[in-house]
Structures are given as structure tokens and as C-alpha cells.
Amino acid sequence: MPATDYQGSSPSSLSHFGRSFLNIHRDHQVHSMEGSSLEVELESFQQHVTDQFLELSSVSHEELVSLSWVGKLLDSFLCCQEEFRAILHTHKVLVLRPPSDRMVSEYFERSVKALDVCNAIRDGIEQIRQWQKLLEIVRCAMGGNQRSIGEGQFRRAKKALIDLAIGMLDDKDSSNASINAHRNRSFGRSTGGGRDHHHNNNLHNRSLGHFRSLSWSVSRTWSAARQLQAIGNNMHPPKANELVASGGLAMPVFIMNSVLLFVMWCLVAAIPCQDRGLQVHFNIPRNFLWAAPMLSLHDRIMEESKKRDRKNACGLLREIHQIEKCARVMNELADSVQFPLTEEKEADVRHRAQEVAQLCDALKDGLDPLERQVREVFHRIVRSRTEGLDSLGKQNLAD
């Protein structure tokens, strides 16, 4: 997502957009009272968006793209959306006048495309919840209240770990045998020949069918990458003449378009969904106040996606990486034990099981609030669009 240099206006009009276009407006003596009010609101809106993304970008490497961070991202989107909605409501006269009406309508159309992303992300959260349940089996088998840990508990844990490895396979990789073999080895599984290989293939097909049938809300041909491209199509910074003609509303519309696209991109980067393409072009000049922290976050997330152990991940969410590491460690542990367990080995197993328990608790505490936030984003977009289109429709009828 290379940031582009803005060619449509001077740097001063970018850095001080409110002052520049409203001064022009006052020179023409058009709505000077409303313009003065709008100038304050737009400067406040830009500053609030900047503050939100500065806070999001201030987190450590360990917290970036974690469940808590994604929750904060969605909270920031809801705050920006609500303030944008208030601006449109307060300045209906400008909103209903060309070219602002077209710009606002285009934003609402982009937001409709974001609804499919929200649906896909909720399905992805449900996938992670299924992986959590498999980890719970491992937790109970290896770290329950039983006095001793025997072969039966290990077999139960091993089966859950195999199901987990299969469930985490990316849809686009599921038909690629070489990638499957690599993934299976990375979880401590051998894909040897003979009867074991036949058993593993049967288990793969059965388990993969289970995970694919959970409740996908989007069609099998739907693509997150194409959806992000559709949201970002024809999105460009407003030129000086567009700022004047729209009474200044072109700028908050562009800001909100950018926030919408970035937040949806982050969700697709973090959570498992179909065809997760991250190569999205953001046409955002770096000299906007709010652009610097947003572009900084993009760069950090892209760097994360290029790491060797994250390239083939089904999602960049920090907890997904922890699930993969945890499953790998438990698989290696299960493959290395001999029965009966020595006291030292049993203590090691229980210690590892405690780490699994901590991860399960973190997932349990984080997934439900995140799903509620995604649902709230969905409903807030629908409500805002309905209100906006109702206003535009009534004006068209009046005309």
C-alpha cells in the first residue's frame, strides 16, 4: 500500500484543508455562518481520527493485531462513524446539494460492501472458536484433575491436535498436497505412507468438511481480496475545486472512506476468511495528519505478514499464532513421551497443559466481545446508510 503524493492541490490545502476551502467560501460569501461551524467540526473530526490512529499505532509488537487490539480498532471505527454521521446530519443542506450528494452516496455504497466483510469475519471468529474447543480437549486430557496421565489421555489429546492442524489449513491451500504435508510436519505430524497416511487423509477430508460447513455467510466464490478492491475502487483525495463545490464535505467523506477501507483490510488480515489478499492500494497522501499513523500501522502489519512463520498463516491475529505454536509444542511433547511417565515428564506435561489453559481462557474472554463488536459495526453501517439514503431519497422526490 504505497502512499501517493497528492497532485490535486497544494500541500497547504492538505495540511489545513478546513481553513483553506472555507476561506475561499467566505470570499464568495456563501453560507458564511454554516461554513464557520463546519470548519470547527471538520478540524475536530480530523483531529479525533488522528488521535484514534495514534493510539492504535502506539502499541507494542506483542499487542499489535491481538484480540484486544482488533477490539480497539473497531471501537475507533465506531467513534469515527458516529462523528461522521453527526456531521452529515448537522449539514443536511450541503449533503443534499451536488456534488456532495454523489460523494455521500458513494460512501454508503462502499459501506454496503463492508457488510459482506463483516459477515465473513464473524464466520472466521466462529472458526477460531472451534479451534479453541479442540484446545480445550487437549487441556482436559493432559492437565485435568486426574491423578495420573496415561496413554488414553494422550491418544485423546493427539486426535484433537490433528483435527486442530487440519482445521487451520487455509481453504486455498487445502487442495495442495505439498503445502498440506509441510503444514502437517510443522505441527509435529508425519505424513508417512501406508496405513497411517490413508488414515490421515480420511481424517483430513472428514475434519475439513466439518470446518467448512460451520455456517459461512458468504458464497464459496466470494473473495475478501476482491471485496477490498471493490471498496477502494475510484477512491482518491478531493481536489481543491471539489472541496469548494462540496462546501468542504468532500474531505470528511474521503477520511471516512479511508477509515472504512483500512479497518476492513485489518479485519481480513487478522481473521480467517476466503481469499485473504492483503495487496490493497490505499491512495492516501502522507501529509494528512491522520495518514501517518494509519500508514505506519499498515507497514507494520505487512511486515508481520512477510515473516517466515506467518506467510502461510490463515490469519495474522496474535492468538492464532499462539494456537499454532502451542499445538506444535504439544504435538512434539506427545511424540516424545514413553509410558509410564516419569515424575519429571508428567510435571512437564502438566506445565504445558497449563499454558494451553491460559490460551483457552484468553480466547474465551476475547472472542465473544469481538464478535459483538463486529455485529455492532454491521448494524451501525446499516443504520447510517438507511438514514442517509432516506434523506437523499426525500430530496430527490421533492425535486
Q: Of 21, 13, 14, nearest to 243 (Cα)?
A: 21
User: What pLDDT, on the 0 to 100 scale, is given for residue 213?
Assistant: 37
AA letter at 350: R
Lowest mean pLDDT among 63-77, 168-182, 217-231, 324-338: 168-182
AA letter at 387: E
Tell whether the model's pLDDT for residue 186 goes beyond 90.
Answer: no
CB within 8 Å of 268: residues ≥ 6 apart: 117, 120, 121, 224, 225, 228, 276, 277, 278
Question: Mean of the pLDDT values across residues 264-274?
Answer: 96
The DSSP string of 22-87 is: HHHHHHTTSSHHHHHHHHHHHHHHHHHHHHHHHHHHTS-TTTTTSHHHHHHHHHHHHHHHHHHHHH
**Which comes out higher in pLDDT, residue 147 or 337?**
337
CA 191 to chain centre: 33
Whether the CB-CB separation of 314 and 278 falls below 8 Å is answered with no
Question: Mean of the pLDDT values across residues 365-382?
Answer: 97
Tell whether the model's pLDDT for residue 216 goes beyond 70.
Answer: no
Q: How far apart are CA 295 and CA 292, in angstroms?
A: 5
**Which comes out higher in pLDDT, residue 246 or 149?**
246
Lowest mean pLDDT among 84-98, 218-232, 332-346: 332-346
User: What pLDDT, on the 0 to 100 scale, is given for residue 391?
Assistant: 73
Each domain of the chain, given as residue ranges in start order, spans 64-171+222-396
Whether the CB-CB separation of 250 and 102 falls below 8 Å is answered with no
Lowest mean pLDDT among 33-47, 241-255, 308-322: 33-47
Q: pTM of the entire structure?
A: 0.81
pLDDT of 109-150, one tens digit each?
Answer: 999 999 999 999 999 999 999 999 999 999 998 876 767 788
Q: How far apart are CA 290 and CA 293, in angstroms?
A: 6
Binning pLDDT at 50, 70 and 90, where does residue 320 land?
A: very high
Tell whether the model's pLDDT for residue 240 goes beyond 80.
Answer: yes
Binning pLDDT at 50, 70 and 90, where does residue 394 land?
A: low
Lowest mean pLDDT among 82-86, 184-188, 295-299: 184-188
CB within 8 Å of 257: residues ≥ 6 apart: 107, 110, 235
| Beta strand segments in the chain, E | none
Share of the chain above pLDDT 70, in %: 77
Lowest mean pLDDT among 21-30, 135-144, 150-159: 21-30
Binning pLDDT at 50, 70 and 90, where does residue 178 land?
A: very low
Binning pLDDT at 50, 70 and 90, where does residue 36 land?
A: low
Binning pLDDT at 50, 70 and 90, where does residue 85 land?
A: very high
Share of the chain above pLDDT 90, in %: 61
Tell whether the model's pLDDT for residue 348 goes beyond 80.
Answer: yes
Question: Mean of the pLDDT values across residues 342-353?
Answer: 90
Tell whether the model's pLDDT for residue 225 goes beyond 60.
Answer: yes
User: What pLDDT, on the 0 to 100 scale, is given for residue 106?
Assistant: 96
Binning pLDDT at 50, 70 and 90, where does residue 35 land?
A: low
Question: Mean of the pLDDT values across residues 371-383?
Answer: 97
Q: How far apart are CA 299 and CA 343, in angstroms?
A: 48
User: What pLDDT, on the 0 to 100 scale, is given for residue 23?
Assistant: 45
Burial of 294 (C-beta count, 10 Å sphere; 0-12/13-18/19+): buried
Tell whether the model's pLDDT for residue 184 goes beyond 50.
Answer: no
Whether the CB-CB separation of 14 and 1 falls below 8 Å is answered with no
Q: How far apart are CA 372 and CA 378, in angstroms?
A: 10
Lowest mean pLDDT among 16-20, 122-126, 300-304, 356-360: 16-20
Name the DSSP letter for residue 237. P
User: What pLDDT, on the 0 to 100 scale, is given for residue 206?
Assistant: 41
